[in-house]
Amino acid sequence: MTTPSPIPALTVTHLSRLFNVSAPWLNRVIERKPKAYLRAVDDISFAVPSGGCLSLVGESGCGKSTVARLVTGLYAPTAGQMQFAMGKNGKPLAAQMIFQDPYASLNPRWRVFDIIAEPLRELKLRDTEADITERVGELLTTVGLAPRDGRKFPHEFSGGQRQRISIARALATEPEFLVCDEPTSALDVSVQAQILNLMRRLQDEIGLTYLFISHDMSVVRHMSDQIAVMYLGRIVEQAATEVLFANPKHPYTQLLLETIPNVTAPKRDREVQSGEVPSPMKPPSGCTFHPRCPQADARCAAERPEMQAYSDGSRVACHRVAESIAALAVPQVDERRLSA
């Protein structure tokens, strides 16, 4: 992986997205019924290093895909800002998206050539049909397919090959920033590795920046420079990949790491409460993880923890982590001297 530039390609500050989930018919029947909102993304801030990869991880429903849709402009934010750096063309970077299910995102009636040529034609990126043919061939070769594959239809390819076609189509617009929403979770494990390796190679060769979305800690370990862990719409921990795996601080991060083989998560005195993730319609008070947290105390149930920065570069939103690290930082008193 190339060393990411310290200048962020994207800076997200206090981003939130609410969905109105009240039934419209009920609003009409009961006058002045307060609208019900679901807080899918709740005041999150992060920066994606230019030429690097930041991954968002967390269980289903924590708001990862909503962030992806906000960043690519498919949804408008309810609050907060997103600032893209300037691209090579002197305009702010525009994010292209790669989706989880390559089959659903490719038009089954079109030949692969036309699927990849469409953005070239739409955005007038090539002038003549000869130039378009040459560019489509180049893109197919870049993703490990052959120019002659352009004659086939999507159903004639395997899942991994279809994801290669999606990547070629995304690259057609010459993006510098790709948002990848679970790009390998529909694929077999062996094929997953091939696609992840392709994405890393492209990052090096083209200098791409990735916002990578996954529920799979072993996948994000392979891809990311930075990892942000989400729980119920909020980021609870963010750190450099090696820091997060060596020293996961938030009890929820520790729980996620327990799910992957060959990683020793810290031992705990009490077990994490099993059970469902609470609904974002009715998030628990205080720290929203407190009902499942083995370390929670009264403060966790009452007061929402804010993000705190630590000396290893990580940021964590947890009262108990803040208390234990503050306790470690207190100079140790030598009791033998006191009694002397």
Ligand X SMILES: Nc1ncnc2c1ncn2[C@@H]1O[C@H](COP(=O)(O)OP(=O)(O)OP(=O)(O)O)[C@@H](O)[C@H]1O
Radius of gyration of the chain (CA): 23
DSSP states along 60-71? TTSSHHHHHHHH
Told to check if 61 binds ligand X by CB under 6 A, we report yes
Name the strands in the sheet holding 226-231, side by side, starting at the edge strand that comes first in the sequence: 95-98, 177-181, 209-214, 53-57, 226-231, 234-240, 315-316, 308-309
Among 16, 50, 55, 65, binds ligand X (CB under 6 A): 65
Told to check if 64 binds ligand X by CB under 6 A, we report yes
Among 38, 71, 112, 187, binds ligand X (CB under 6 A): 38
Told to check if 44 binds ligand X by CB under 6 A, we report no
Among 16, 50, 55, 66, binds ligand X (CB under 6 A): 66
Told to check if 286 binds ligand X by CB under 6 A, we report no
The CA–CA distances, whole Å, from 251 to 86, 127, 180 equal: 37, 55, 27
Q: Of 262-281, which residues contact ligand X (CB under 6 A)?
A: 280
Told to check if 223 binds ligand X by CB under 6 A, we report no
For 201, the 3-state DSSP assignment is: helix
Element (H, E) at 49: strand 37-50
Which CB sits closer to ligand X, 65 or 161? 65
**What is the C-alpha end-to-end distance of the chain, expressed in Å?**
57
User: How many other β-carbons are positioned within 10 Å of the β-carbon of residue 300?
Assistant: 23
Q: How far is the CB of 107 from ligand X (least distance, A)?
A: 23
Would you say 15 and 41 are in contact if contact means Cβ atoms under 8 Å apart? Answer: yes
Told to check if 19 binds ligand X by CB under 6 A, we report yes
Span from 58-66, 129-137, 191-199, 235-243 in contact with ligand X (CB under 6 A) = 58-66
Contacts of residue 174, defined as CB under 8 A and 6 or more positions apart, other chains included, come to 125
Q: How far is the CB of 114 from ligand X (least distance, A)?
A: 29
Told to check if 184 binds ligand X by CB under 6 A, we report no
Span from 63-71, 115-123, 126-134, 255-263 in contact with ligand X (CB under 6 A) = 63-71
Q: How far is residue 286's CA from residue 207's CA, in Å, rounded to a whole number?
A: 41
Told to check if 40 binds ligand X by CB under 6 A, we report yes
Told to check if 183 binds ligand X by CB under 6 A, we report no
Would you say 241 and 225 are in contact if contact means Cβ atoms under 8 Å apart? Answer: yes
Which CB sits closer to ligand X, 19 or 110? 19
Told to check if 239 binds ligand X by CB under 6 A, we report no
Binding track over 198-217 against ligand X, x by CB under 6 A: -----------------x--
| Binding footprint of ligand X on the chain (CB under 6 A) | 19, 21, 38, 40, 58, 60-66, 215, 280
